[in-house]
Amino acid sequence: MLIAAYVAFALLLLICLGLEFSACRSRLTSRSYSNPAFLQFQLDYYQVYFLALTADWLQGPYLYKLYQHYNFLEAQITIIYVCGFASSVLFGLVSNSLVDRLGRKKSCILFSLTYSVCCLTKLSWDYFVLIVGRILGGLSTALLFSAFEAWYVHEHVERHDFPAEWIPATFTKAAFWNSIIAIGAGVVANIFAEWLGFGPVAPFMVSIPFLVLAGTLVMKNWDENYGKKRALSRTYTDGLKCLLSDRRVLLLGTIQALFESVIYIFIFLWTPVLDPYNPPLGIVFSSFMAASMVGSSLYRVATSKKYHLQPMHILSLSVLMVFFSLFMLTFSTNPGQENPSESFLAFLLIELSCGLYFPSMGFLRQKVIPEKDQAGVMHWFRVPLNLLACLGLLILHDSDYKTGTRNMFTICSVMMVMALLAVVSLFTVVRNNAELRLPSSSSQAEISSPEL
């Protein structure tokens, strides 16, 4: 597994470089790139946001390994993860309202504080302290994906009066560098945890200086801004009405709940499946991130003027690839006949599929869901998603662990069959809808994929 991980990482990096070089040659330039004031504003945002992303990604490779290092049982680790998922749902419900009322700058500082405390809890061997840490992690994640973007959009439009059409340029560049940061974070985590021998707690301690620096720069360089008060009950009620009244929205929500709940379960399972064979977990994580970046690059190529594939087709392909990968895993994790190399390959295919899935799903959501209802609808999308993920993890360790992992992959395969049926139904509904097709004269920009 050691050699396989490094070889896969090197090959995927080469593919990434090739695809990105090809994309750079055909990428259109924008007048905004030559505006000095805009470039300085972008830089002020990026230097903070990228520090926050680095701290977040550093914690990915060794989270499960840390709990295992503290000699917790698989069922106990499951409960910690479930608490993390539950806190993400809970704080996700109120994060936008909290950020608007507290202030975006203060919310970014709060992110730095809560995530730093979350990292410090990893020094403790106490089970309940670690649960509290995961709950704080859920709050921090909710703030990361709400406060920073909200602050930027307000400053971009209201304070600096830049054209709103320039906003996607900032977030497209941020999505690209997010992938690069994720790949690099895995390597850095591996260096501190394994090469230098500091153990699985080291990446969490390395995250703290990044968080402190991010919070310091926010206090020093950013101005405060606030959002309008929102009636949460009305937002969620309108979102539910939109979800139930439009079959396209309902089918998209079904696909998202099934697909992304399987991804959450994969995030939990990849470490216990591969770790017995002593792979470099940080390099494995970086390989996953590189595979996801390859998928995002392939999406851009596939939707370009040259090939002009439609997001609906790519969404179908991504779901089918995950089903095939899970089918492989039901055999490669069979007790007594484990094949770690085959499992690793299946995991890479899942990540590649994620790189295809997220921009496809993002495009379709923007076209199908009215802008005024997107916040409420996305809330209702996340509820079954997290419930399925939590239920899956609890079922997994309700039985014998040796057979439980294989059984969980079997259940996930069934869930992906259901997702495929939903994709077919959606394709039937929208096949004559020109609005859901990319225009022939342009290509779709990359949309960022979620944290692992």
Token pair for residue 267?
């995030």
Distance CA 280, CA 233 (A): 47
Helices 247-274, 311-332: axis angle to 10 degrees equals 30
Nearest to 354 by CA among 388, 312, 387, 322: 322
- Label residue 231 by pLDDT band (50, 70, 90): low
pLDDT for residue 443 = 41
Do residues 204 and 343 touch, judged by C-beta distance below 8 A? no
Nearest to 318 by CA among 363, 376, 282, 271: 363
**239-248 pLDDT, tens per residue?**
788 888 888 8
Token pair for residue 215?
């919070």
| Of 30 and 107, more confident | 107
Task: Quickly name the fold that domain 40-228 has.
Answer: Growth Hormone; Chain: A; (1.20.1250)
**289-299 pLDDT, tens per residue?**
999 999 999 99
The secondary structure of 124-164 as a DSSP string is ---HHHHHHHHHHHHHHHHHHTTHHHHHHHHIIIIIS---G
pLDDT for residue 95 = 81
Token pair for residue 19?
């695809």
Amino acid at 187: V
pLDDT for residue 348 is more than 70? yes
pLDDT for residue 440 = 58
Do residues 55 and 182 touch, judged by C-beta distance below 8 A? no
Nearest to 362 by CA among 271, 296, 416: 296
Do residues 151 and 108 touch, judged by C-beta distance below 8 A? yes
Q: Which of 44-53, 329-338, 437-446 has the lowest mean pLDDT?
A: 437-446
The conformation of residue 304, written as its DSSP 8-state character, comes to S
Do residues 292 and 179 touch, judged by C-beta distance below 8 A? yes
| Of 88 and 62, more confident | 62
- The CATH classification of domain 230-430, taken from the options 1.20.1250.20, 3.30.930.10, 2.40.40.20, 1.20.1050.40: 1.20.1250.20
Contacting residues for 145 by C-beta, under 8 A, at least 6 apart:
95
Distance CA 417, CA 158 (A): 46
The secondary structure of 195-235 as a DSSP string is IS---TTHHHHHHHHHHHHHHHHHHHHPPP-------HHHH
**43-79 pLDDT, tens per residue?**
999 999 999 999 999 999 999 999 999 999 888 998 9
Contacting residues for 258 by C-beta, under 8 A, at least 6 apart:
388, 415, 416, 418, 419, 422
**171-219 pLDDT, tens per residue?**
989 998 999 999 999 999 999 999 999 999 999 999 999 999 999 999 9
Distance CA 110, CA 218 (A): 11
Do residues 208 and 113 touch, judged by C-beta distance below 8 A? no
Residues 98-108 have a mean pLDDT of 92
Distance CA 222, CA 218 (A): 5
Share of the chain above pLDDT 90, in %: 59
Q: Which of 261-265, 277-281, 377-381, 417-421 has the lowest mean pLDDT?
A: 377-381
pLDDT for residue 246 = 85
User: Residue ranges of the alpha helices (H) in 27-73?
Assistant: 36-58, 63-69
pLDDT for residue 446 = 41
Distance CA 408, CA 210 (A): 36
pTM listed for this prediction: 0.91
| Of 258 and 32, more confident | 258
Q: Which of 6-10, 48-52, 396-400 has the lowest mean pLDDT?
A: 396-400
Residues 132-150 have a mean pLDDT of 93
Distance CA 280, CA 204 (A): 17
Q: Which residue has the tokens 């470039």?
A: 39
Collapsing DSSP to helix, strand or coil, 378 comes out as helix
pLDDT for residue 24 = 63
- The HSE-up count of residue 4 (CA atoms within 13 Å, CB side) is 15
Give start-end residues of each CATH 1.20.1250.20 domain in the chain: 40-228, 230-430
pLDDT for residue 30 = 46
